[in-house]
Amino acid sequence: MVKTQGRSAPIAKAALTILCCIVVGCTFRKAEPKQSLKPAPPIGIQVGNRAPEIEGEDVQGIKFKLSDYRGKVIMLDFWGNW
């Protein structure tokens, strides 16, 4: 295959021009309107409500809050010795 001199420069220039147009077009793209966020459910003990803030100590005596585990699956075990 014989490479023609002078032909690759215009192709490279055209490719660079197209790439610049794409980059500039993406940069100045109209911002999408943000979706309205649903209000947080109320705090309460009914199904679907957010859990009330609970603070306590673990078996080693280290203090914790329920909100420290937000987004994680946890199991609460309430008990007493009366």
pLDDT in the model for residue 8 = 62
Q: Is the dihedral of CA 22, 27, 29, 34 positive or negative?
A: positive
Instruction: Judge whether 63 and 57 are in contact, CB under 8 Å.
Output: yes
Tens-place pLDDT, residues 29-77: 565 666 668 888 899 888 888 888 889 888 899 999 988 988 888 887 8
- More reliable by pLDDT, 36 or 4: 36
| pTM for this predicted structure | 0.40
DSSP 66: G
Q: Domain boundaries in the chain?
A: 53-82
Q: What are phi and psi for residue 23, nearest 5 degrees?
A: -65, -45
